[in-house]
Structure 1
Amino acid sequence: MENKMNIQEKIKDWIEETLKIEESFVLAHPKDIKNGDYSFFASPKLANEFGRALSENKIPEIEKVEVVGSFINFYLSKKFFTESIKEILEKGEECGQTDLLEGQKIIIEHTQPNPFKEFHIGHLMNNAIGESVARIIKANGADVKTASYHGDKGLHVAKAVWAMNKGIEYEKAYAYGNKAYEEDENTKQEIIALNKTIYDGKITEIWKICNDGFNKFKNYFLTICRRLDTTFDYQFWETASGEVGKKIVLENVGKIFENGEGGAVIFKGENFEPKTHTRVFINSEGLPTYEAKEVGLAKIKKELFAYNQSITVTGNEQDSFFDVTEIAIGEVLPELKGKLKHLSHGMLRLPTGKMSSRTGDVITTESLIDQVKEKVREKIAERNLSEEEKEEILEVVAIGAIKYSILRQAIGGDIIFDFDKSISFEGDSGPYLQYACVRANSILEKADMSRLNLDMSEAVFDTWETTELEKYLYRFTEVVERAGTHSTGSINSLQAGSGQVEYAPHHIVTYLTELASIFNSFYAKEKIIDPSDGASPYKIALTQAVAYTLKSGLRLLGIKVPDKM
């Protein structure tokens, strides 16, 4: 997709060509908007010389070049801001999209709940991150497929089926079976034997229990995904990946893999670069481990979708697992070397502490959403809304509040969910952004009723003083790029020559929150709808640009906007 607004790259190219600079430099937005729209640092000896050369060779988009100490500041022209607003209005809710990753085929695996385990807040965190990353990559022009991977075989299934066979209900079966497995040696051996029976795949009463559990899981998973506004192109299962992975591992014993103790097959990560550690790929019972299944999964994905990159989103407790499997896969399937990326995140915690599906101390996604809904209900109780309207608002605002809380910080760290902060309408929250968007839409509805139309004519701009709103709106496209490309420094900088993928939804969160704040200040200061004001139609155009940008950005975060709030 053509990206006419990539002024950042154009300025960078202009600086390089004019000053004959070959080394990398950082082009940044000054912290104070009064100091220009872009800035870069030069040595004190060269700053004045560079500033003079750039002033004498300005590109049309630059109004002024100013040297302040060692900083060279650039002020964009009023015409540039006019054109940037026009482009947002032309693109509508598709504004911000780029062609940065055009031609790339990327598959993103996330969420990955297993049958017999509840969809807890760890899955919710993974889903929010994976879904947003997928949307951001797609917005940057890539051909994107999404997938979820489920364990339909393995000890976790055997533990749950063992419990269900004893009359324990589906929802509690895994925790019950796991507790018995860890506490009683006889039960442990029963479950190990049951695991082998399940792997054999023969039609027995045990398999009927398995299938009943799988069917309940599929319906449950579909319901949760609808609620979270998530869809998947593929769902992969360990049965298939285990068969493929085991075959590949056995074919490479003596080459990549080695025989270990008790008939196991191992991969000695210490013998490959970068050095890692030894892991078992086929256990002493002859069954493929998670490691072997990961090998099979990589091959299955590639055969279905010839990807340039396969991204797997998991919690950071799996870092060491992927450190080894990515190297092993690269050795045994060399065509995939360098194409696998593990994107790991921290834990989502409530003030009460960590949860565990192993012990049954689980905080489910539904329970968290419902708790947040009740807190939002208190905030909107006095508003003149029907019960149906309230219920729609509660659902959308609660889920938006949770997703915002997850995505507002860089992927990797733990998050302690703050109920009160998450539902604040005062700033730095999902509801704050949703409310700003609803406010903009409400203004536009009133403008339509007043028969005031958008006006981007030259006559308006002759007398209009460029506001902070225009100076911020055009940056959305570069923020979308930033969320999908690696660069150093703050959200306000772009290092020339960068290009590695970062995947950072928090940059979009930061941008949208600041945009909403600027718009709210604009709204408080300006009378937007005023038939007697010649600039009113342009103010309406700015409001429409804000609404489009907020809606587009929130969609990239997987957050919906209610009709009312």
Structure 2
Amino acid sequence: MEETLRASVKEALISLGAGEVDFAIEWPATLANGDFATNAALASAKVLGRSPRDIADELASMLKDSLGELVSTVEAAGPGFVNITLARAVVTKQIASAADGGANWGLGTANAGQRIMVEYGNPNPFKEMHIGHLMGAVIGESISRLIEASGATVLRDTFGGDVGPQVAKALWALRLDGVTEPASAQEIGKAYMQGSNAYEESEEAKAEIDALNVRIYDVVGKQDDPAGLSEEDRALLHLWQRGREVSMEEFNRIFGLLGTRFDYTFFDSDTTKPGLEAVASAVEKGILEESEGAIVYKGEKKGLHTLVFVTSRGTPTYETKDLGLAYLKEMRAETDSVIIITAVEQIGHFNVVLAALEDIAPVLGKKTSHLAHGLLQLTTGKMSSRKGNVITASELIQELLTVTAARNADPLVAEQVAIGALKYMILRAAPGSNVAFDPEKSLSLEGDSGPYLQYALVRAKSVIAQSEMKPDTSDAPEAAFELERLLMRYPETVRRAEAFRAPHTVVQYLTQLAGEWNSFYANERIRGGEYEGYKLALAAAFVTTMENGLTLLGIPVPEKM
């Protein structure tokens, strides 16, 4: 409908002599002002040399004629806006589409035929997943679902650092304590903290961990042919393999709770070789250069800063691994674009890495983009897994589950509510914004929470189930309910959320929709009342819209609460 309105406004402006003017079609601030509004009169006033209100009056008349039976009213308002209210038949048709559309209601085609790889989550083995990783996992999954809703095929991947300083710190401490078979992610996480603290506090430990880091690279590089390794190195390789396995089992358990699955899991150890090959080629071409024994990319030529790709000790940095990952993704799957989702802290890193990638492999560089999310914070400040005051993802989820289990006897419902509470609080923030997580507020049923949306949905399902009449859109009252006008906005809300990579747009819409449904439920007699069939159709449209919206956010859809 928005495209139809835009075409009519454009045609009217052309006839007025202002066809080149840019204008907006938007939703009025309040539902009482109609379904759409345009600022075309305000935008064209200077070109036409007329007052915006005079233009708005004329434009309203022209649009009323051109849109005909599609609209009930077109009126000039304020200093020069034009408010448009759709005809009852148009509204009813949209409600029928929502009520009967099922999972297809709200889907678009903007990215039809595209293959898009989305990287997110990215917890590092040998450290426990902390709550900061929940941001990437939750936001990345929702963005992936929004892209799928636009018609694209999405390939999900996650990337973890299984070699590097953090691994050396954890293995150093495990070896020091005589551990050969780590049994849990918690045990490995404590070892990482022990090794990290020793690294900063003891020069001897620092030297040992640095040497172990180089050795791990060498041993892991020979894992496909371990026959030439010494007995000690084979033991080190086994400890590394077991540690990674235990870490990934825990990560996958948490991802499963969050409703996330990955098509590809990449590790640093996979990317080191192709990354170093890309670095060597880039040095030959003069894109990267040697500096004080290291290999660097001097980003100053693009207004950026210098980053090291290989240290003076000969070990590859995260930058080299990111280069290798870009090549590895290209080898594993054909894609039209690649999106990397990480915290805002890595904006500077990826600005330089993607600039270098575009110089080294222009095709890969041009189709790869970075999307940053904010940080999940506690009142005590930023978390640090090195200092040991980190709140892990598992601990936070368990805290929420303890509360929801006390309120819901069904363990499945308790889990659905807990995960819904967590995801809502993360996804309601605008892209790049930090989140201050409040467990108590997240579980409230009073509004602005995941459980609030879930409960509104369960209530609507109950109304339909308890009624003996079937939903019927032929029984529509003359005037549309405000709930109807809000329901019609869902497909465009999804389109905008995908276009701007902004799940919070859907969160805000669903919260408003739940409030409007609750008001409708409180003020209208649905079962046994006037227009019962149509009101049930509205309930069905609400259920479809809320279910589909929650699914896009990755928030579970409970059958009861």
Secondary structure of the equivalent of 1:252?
helix
Root-mean-square deviation (Å): 1.6
Match of 2:470 among 446, 450, 453: 453
Mapped pair 1:185 → 2:203: yes
Q: How does 1:127-146 map to 2 (within 5 A)?
A: 127-146=137-156
Mapped pair 1:235 → 2:265: yes
Q: TM-score, normalised by structure 2?
A: 0.91
Q: CA-to-partner distance for each residue in 1:401-437, whole Å, 9 max, x for gaps?
A: 1110011010212111112221111111101000001
Residue pair 2:95, 2:484 contacting (<8 A) in 1 also: yes
Hey, what does 2:380 align to over in structure 1? 352
Secondary structure of the equivalent of 1:354?
coil
Secondary structure of the equivalent of 2:309?
strand
Residue pair 1:351, 1:418 contacting (<8 A) in 2 also: no
Mapped pair 1:550 → 2:546: yes
Secondary structure of the equivalent of 1:428?
coil
Secondary structure of the equivalent of 1:466?
coil
Secondary structure of the equivalent of 1:253?
helix
Counterparts of 2:89 and 2:403 in 1: how far apart (Å)?
46
Q: How does 1:349-388 map to 2 (within 5 A)?
A: 349-377=377-405, 380=407, 387=409
Match of 2:464 among 444, 452, 468: 444
Q: CA-to-partner distance for each residue in 1:57-110, whole Å, 9 max, x for gaps?
A: 224422221112411111101111111011112321331111111122211100
For 1:446, give the aligned amino acid. Q
For 1:547, give the aligned amino acid. V
The verdict on how the C-alpha distance between 1:135 and 1:297 changes in structure 2, with shifts beyond 3 A counting, is same
Match of 2:95 among 85, 91, 94: 85
Hey, what does 2:124 align to over in structure 1? 114
Match of 2:289 among 228, 241, 259: 259
Q: How does 1:178-257 map to 2 (within 5 A)?
A: 178-201=196-219, 202=222, 203=226, 204-257=234-287
Structure 2 unaligned residues grouped into runs of 5+: 43-51, 180-186, 227-233
Q: How does 1:391-430 map to 2 (within 5 A)?
A: 391-430=411-450
For 1:476, give the aligned amino acid. Y
Hey, what does 1:508 align to over in structure 2? 506
Counterparts of 2:462 and 2:394 in 1: how far apart (Å)?
31
For 1:303, give the aligned amino acid. M
Match of 1:14 among 8, 22, 26: 8
Q: Give the count of matched residue pairs.
A: 525
Residue pair 1:19, 1:53 contacting (<8 A) in 2 also: no
Counterparts of 1:433 and 1:407 in 2: how far apart (Å)?
13
TM-superposed CA distance for 1:192, in Å, is 1.3
Secondary structure of the equivalent of 2:67?
coil
Secondary structure of the equivalent of 1:432?
helix
Counterparts of 1:256 and 1:516 in 2: how far apart (Å)?
58
Structure 1 unaligned residues grouped into runs of 5+: 1-6, 486-501
Hey, what does 2:560 align to over in structure 1? 564
TM-superposed CA distance for 1:240, in Å, is 1.7
Secondary structure of the equivalent of 1:337?
helix
Q: TM-score, normalised by structure 1?
A: 0.90
TM-superposed CA distance for 1:305, in Å, is 2.2
Match of 1:268 among 291, 295, 298: 298
The verdict on how the C-alpha distance between 1:99 and 1:92 changes in structure 2, with shifts beyond 3 A counting, is same
Secondary structure of the equivalent of 2:176?
coil
Mapped pair 1:303 → 2:353: no
Counterparts of 1:372 and 1:170 in 2: how far apart (Å)?
24
Residue pair 2:428, 2:503 contacting (<8 A) in 1 also: yes
Residue pair 2:105, 2:548 contacting (<8 A) in 1 also: yes
Q: CA-to-partner distance for each residue in 1:504-563, whole Å, 9 max, x for gaps?
A: 000000000000000001101112111xx4511111111011011001000111100222
Hey, what does 2:521 align to over in structure 1? 523
The verdict on how the C-alpha distance between 1:152 and 1:122 changes in structure 2, with shifts beyond 3 A counting, is same
For 1:520, give the aligned amino acid. N
How many percent identity over aligned positions? 41
The structure with higher relative contact order (CA 8 Å, sep 6+) is: 1
Hey, what does 2:534 align to over in structure 1? 538
Counterparts of 1:138 and 1:405 in 2: how far apart (Å)?
23
Residue pair 1:256, 1:331 contacting (<8 A) in 2 also: no
The verdict on how the C-alpha distance between 1:57 and 1:366 changes in structure 2, with shifts beyond 3 A counting, is same
For 1:22, give the aligned amino acid. E
For 2:321, give the aligned amino acid. K
Residue pair 1:464, 1:535 contacting (<8 A) in 2 also: no
Hey, what does 1:57 align to over in structure 2? 66
Counterparts of 2:398 and 2:309 in 1: how far apart (Å)?
41
TM-superposed CA distance for 1:54, in Å, is 1.6
Mapped pair 1:284 → 2:312: yes
Return 47-56 or 203-212, whichever deviates more: 47-56
Residue pair 1:62, 1:74 contacting (<8 A) in 2 also: yes
Match of 1:470 among 456, 467, 484: 484
More helix by share: 2
The verdict on how the C-alpha distance between 1:158 and 1:465 changes in structure 2, with shifts beyond 3 A counting, is same
Counterparts of 1:52 and 1:546 in 2: how far apart (Å)?
34
Return 418-427 or 57-66, whichever deviates more: 57-66
Counterparts of 1:372 and 1:163 in 2: how far apart (Å)?
32
TM-superposed CA distance for 1:350, in Å, is 2.1
Counterparts of 2:265 and 2:286 in 1: how far apart (Å)?
29
Return 80-89 or 347-356, whichever deviates more: 347-356
